[in-house]
Structures are given as C-alpha cells and as structure tokens.
Amino acid sequence: MRANCWMGRNTVQVRDVADSQILNQRDAIIKVTSTAICGSDLHLYDGYIPTMEKGDILGHEFMGNVVEVGPGVSNLSVGDRVVVPFPIACGACNSCVDGLYSLCENTNPNAGMAEKLWGHASAGIFGYSHLTGGFAGGQAEYVRVPFADVGPIKIENDLPDEKVLFLSDIFPTAYMGAEMCDIRPGDVIAVWGAGSVGLLAMASARLLGAEKIIAIDRVDFRLEMAREKTGAVTINYEDEDVMAMLNDITAGRGPDACIDAVGMEAHSDVLPIQLYDRVKQAVRLETDRGATLRQAIVACRNGGTVSVIGVYGGLMDKFPVGSWMNRSITLKTGQCHVQRYTRPLLELIERGEIDPSFVITHRLPLEQAPDGYETFKNKEDECVKVVLSV
C-alpha cells in the first residue's frame, strides 16, 4: 500500500510499504478515505519531537471504512464508516474509566521511554513518534486501529467526510480547550493562534456562551477567517501591542480565560525573547519555545484560567511563575480525551449547530502529501488546513 512516511527533518515521502495487518484481537483495519495534516504533524516535520525513525508513517486524523476486524471486536462490521480518535485507549484502565482516554495506561508499548522524559507515560497515539508507542499512522491507504471496539465512532448518516473528519482530533481538542475555560455568561476569551484548532476553539467558545472572543495571530488571512467565521475581535501581534489591546478591550481586567492554541513553536514579537528561545531550542537547551504561554498567563485576568491545547514536548524556560502564583491563575491542559467528545460533537454537527469544515483551505490527493506539508508549514497560499483524499 501507499503511505506518507517521515524520512528526516523537513522530508516526507509517499512510499510503498507492506499492507496493514491485525496484530491484536481487538484491532480493525480501516481503508482510509480522508486524512488531514495536523499542526502538530509540523512539529514532527520540523524535527522537534524526539524518537522519530526514518520510515514512520505519519497521520493521526483519519476516517474510512472497516475492511477487517479482529476476533475481539464485536461492535464493528466490515463496511462500517468510522472516524478514529487520535489517542489509542483500552477503555478498561483507571484513566479510561475516568474518561481520561489520552492517558490510557495500557496502549503505549514504549511507556518506559515516555516515563524517562515526562515522569509518567501517556497513551499511544497514531503516527506520532516512538515516544507515544510507534503506531503506524493514517496518512496511508490502510491503517490498523487497536482497541477498535473502544475508539472509533460509526458515522451512520450521509454527511460528507469533510464535516465529520475533524472529530478525530482538532474539533474535540478545540472544544476541550474551550470547555476547560469554564465559560460563564459575559466571559471574554482570548485565543492565541488562529490555525484550525484556534479557529475551532473560538467557534466552540461561542457555542459555550462566551460574550466576546479575541483572536491573536500574526497571519492576516487567518485573522480574517477568525473575524468572518467566529465573529472574533482580532489582534495582529506584529502590528499591535497585545497587552495594551487586551486591557483596552476588557477595560483593564484582562481576558477571563486565555487559550494557547500554538504550542512549542511559538513566535514572539519581542525580538530578544524570540532570539533567546530560537537559540536555546536550536542547541537543544530548551525543547519548547514559550512565548505564547508566557503571554497568555501574564495577560489573563486575576483569578482567570489559562487553557493549553497547543502541543509541548519537553522543557521551556522563563515560566512566569510569579504572575501565575500571585494572581491565582488556574492552568489547565492535556492531550484531548477525544473519545469523551465524539458522540456529543457529532450530534452538534448533525443538528447543524457547527460545521467544522470551514477551516479547510486545501484538498489534495494522498500522493501530494509532501506538497501539502510544505505549503502548510510555510503558510503559503493562505493555507490553514490540508485534507488528503485517499
């Protein structure tokens, strides 16, 4: 079969690989129909996530049709159309029972590797380094899905792929980011990053009753999308003073909650901070650039919440611990517990309350995945989200 493989920093290739096969009794094989490139795939592409191996099949946002099920799967049949959550979860351990699916205790065969870096391990993830298990990803013709009786959600309507594909990651991730803000009537929510997750977090904050949404980015076409699609007020941090603008919009209070939808490759408009982080990251003294998270904490109102859904991998410097502690800021975060959200969010889509496909700007065949990565990385051609058809 054909699959998009990581071949080294800034290089992916669509190659011939062996066909997917059942390895565990509760596996299913899915024939992929649509798969997307995630902003977090760019962290792999850029070489900032350790433990990648040449030949790893990428992709953790995918959907398709079941073509084979293992003997332990009784709730899926050949021909079922499913969307697959990116974290692999067993459904039986204490974390899964508590709904913390991305912290499943059983699905990462390389948990020992993750424990060295993080103290405790998190769940296995499709196509996302060996630290999260070394599972082949879904940017391929076929993919093996472990615990297929737990994660995949059946799509039993005729909604097109584009409307439901993002239940695999970015819509639940964005929704969880907004939910962690505990939005109350009148709340002002600021979102750093107007990529697809940021945009969907803005739309989710709207659904959850936010009074006002503020989008912060440096790319004009993304800010325009935020204004048009989510009704956000926008700040281009390269042209405007973010703190002054936020204080003006909120009459000095600061946003009630701040969402970091950027993560480890943040940019800063303050040149010394940007240079400091770039240099330390380049020489591997710091794995994660922290400009967004620092600013989100400092900007947040006293007693407010900072919700982190952008991906971080290791360590960052200059955490504003004093601002965080003295001003009673609550910091919430996590890889999304997607399995918790697929059903209710599918219902929102079915009722027409949201159509997450508004973020799609590029549609390409799988064979052109390398072009998709380049265009997305460089934000060329007003790229926000690339969907690959298989």
Partner 1 sequence: MAASSAVTINRSEQEITSKLSQADPLLTHDVRISYAPAPGDRGTEVRVVLDQSVPGGALGQKVAAVVGSDPQRQLDDALRRFKQLVETGEVIRSEASPGGTDAKQQRRQRPAQPLPTDQ
Q: Which is nearer to partner 1, 59 or 356 (CB)?
A: 59
- Pick the closer one to partner 1 by CB: 110 or 247: 110
How far apart are CB 97 and partner 1 at their closest, in Å?
A: 7
Nearer to partner 1, 198 or 313 (CB): 313
Nearer to partner 1, 38 or 300 (CB): 38
Residue closer to partner 1, measured from CB, 47 or 55:
55
Considering the complex, what minimum distance in angstroms separates the CB of residue 22 from partner 1?
10
Per the CB < 8 A criterion, the answer to whether 86 and 168 are in contact is yes
The torsion region of residue 231 among left (phi > 0), alpha (psi -120 to 50) and beta comes to left
What is the number of residues in the chain?
Answer: 390
Nearest distance in Å: CB 182, partner 1:
24
**Which token pair is 190?**
């600021």
**Please, what is the minimum distance in Å from the beta carbon of residue 199 to partner 1?**
30
Tokens 């517990």 appear where? 337
Q: Transcribe 52-97 into DSSP letters.
A: --TTEEP-SEEEEEEEEE-TT--S--TT-EEEE-SEE--S-SHHHH
CA angle (61, 65, 71) in 5-degree steps: 105
Q: What are the beta bridge partners of residue 265?
A: 289
Smallest gap from Cβ 338 to partner 1, in A, equals 18
Instruction: Choose between 129 and 361: whose C-beta lies nearer to partner 1.
Output: 129
Reduce the DSSP state of residue 35 to 3 states and report it: strand
| Distances from the Cα of 209 to the Cα of 152, 185, 193, 203, 315, angstroms | 29, 6, 20, 10, 34
Q: Toward partner 1, which CB reaches closer, 134 or 304?
A: 134
> In the bound complex, what is the minimum distance in angstroms from residue 148's beta carbon to partner 1?
13
N- to C-terminal Cα separation, the chain: 11
How many beta carbons lie within 10 A of that of residue 21, not counting itself? 10
Closest approach of Cβ 197 to partner 1, in Å?
24
HSE of 172, CA atoms in CB hemisphere, 13 A: 28
CB of 128 to partner 1, least distance (A): 9
Residue 4, number of CB atoms within 10 A of its CB: 30
User: Footprint of partner 1 on this chain (CB under 8 A)?
Assistant: 1, 3, 5, 17-21, 23-26, 51, 53-57, 72, 90, 92-94, 97, 105-107, 109-113, 124, 127, 130, 133-137, 144, 146-147
Cβ contact 249:212 at 8 Å: yes
Picking from 151, 117, 147, the residue whose alpha carbon sits closest to that of residue 132 is 117
Cβ atoms 33, 165 nearer than 8 A? no
Least distance from partner 1 to the Cβ atom of residue 54, Å: 6
The secondary structure of the chain in percent helix, strand, coil, rounded to multiples of 5, reads: 35, 25, 45
Least gap, CB of 113 to partner 1 (angstroms): 5
Pick the closer one to partner 1 by CB: 53 or 381.
53
Instruction: Give 88 or 300: the residue with its C-beta nearer to partner 1.
Output: 88
DSSP state of 190: E
Tokens of 36: 């997307």
User: Which residue's CB is nearer to partner 1, number 10 or number 21?
Assistant: 21
